[in-house]
Structure 1
């Protein structure tokens, strides 16, 4: 069955400001359908290491923090976050601890892969 998926751009479209008035980190956008919301940060892997994962996680945490203060957050019992990287398509199993910590602190399931599953 087909599912209608909505996309909302966040970065460069929605202003999220810190208490001091400066612009806060934002992810690239979010997808939502039925009772599911998925925040997405798109990355191009640069150099060695996993700094792109750390940066993406921070952008997702910041955006999710703002969203969870909104009434609409209650409309989505299924909450996910993706750091997607076209340069690094394989799932990073070494990031299991990071993903578990992300869920325990945000109640969002974090995935680090280049395909976003719509279920």
Structure 2
């Protein structure tokens, strides 16, 4: 029941200054696209042009529950230097923040269960829920609680924006 988060067929290295991430929501994995495309669910700015490992997770990496059914998982990960970003791409108006965090959390739990050293070797971790329909979140009372929960449980910050600026 081991999960291969390093599946080579699901990964690509990109060092572009700007690129987009797109999820067609059609049972295909998320992919890198042109930054200026109208299809972008999220836009990434990589000012230092460092090499980033993009890993498509949903519809690419198999993460099953003990009963054999597919588990919830986020769309992608970006990893570079000592940074690890889990990304969920949404294209809806309702409940996108909590649903996105739930999918990210499910992925994180599996990674911590199976390869904790990989997860904890990153000094900075972030959960990003990006929504093409809502570029910026509508803040709810639970937002502060969500931030505190992810910070204390996973040593991770959360972001609800479609613009990802890599430091």
TM-score computed with the length of structure 2 as normaliser: 0.64
Return structure 1 stretches of 4+ with deviation > 3 angstroms. Answer: 91-94
Q: What residue is the counterpart of 2:151 in the other structure?
A: 103
Once the two structures are TM-superposed, the CA of residue 78 in structure 1 deviates from its matched residue by 0.8
Cα deviation digits, residues 95-119 of structure 1 (max 9, x gap): 2222222222222211111111201
2:132 and 2:78 mapped to 1: Cα distance? 18
Q: What residue is the counterpart of 1:35 in the other structure?
A: 82
Cα deviation digits, residues 70-103 of structure 1 (max 9, x gap): 1322331211110001111124443222222222
2:70 and 2:54 mapped to 1: Cα distance? 22
Given that 1:92 and 1:113 are in contact with CA atoms closer than 8 Å, whether structure 2 keeps it comes out as: no
Q: What residue is the counterpart of 1:21 in the other structure?
A: 68
Counterpart among 107, 110, 124 of residue 63 in structure 1: 107
Which of 1 and 2 has greater Rg? 2
1:29 and 1:80 mapped to 2: Cα distance? 12
2:132 and 2:96 mapped to 1: Cα distance? 12
Q: What residue is the counterpart of 1:80 in the other structure?
A: 126
Say which SS state the counterpart of residue 60 (structure 1) adopts. helix
Query: In the alignment, does 2:166 pair up with 1:118?
Result: yes
Cα deviation digits, residues 24-68 of structure 1 (max 9, x gap): 10100100100000000000123xx4x111211110000011112
- Once superposed, what is the RMSD of the aligned Cα atoms? 1.5
2:144 and 2:50 mapped to 1: Cα distance? 29
TM-score computed with the length of structure 1 as normaliser: 0.87
More helix as a share of residues:
1
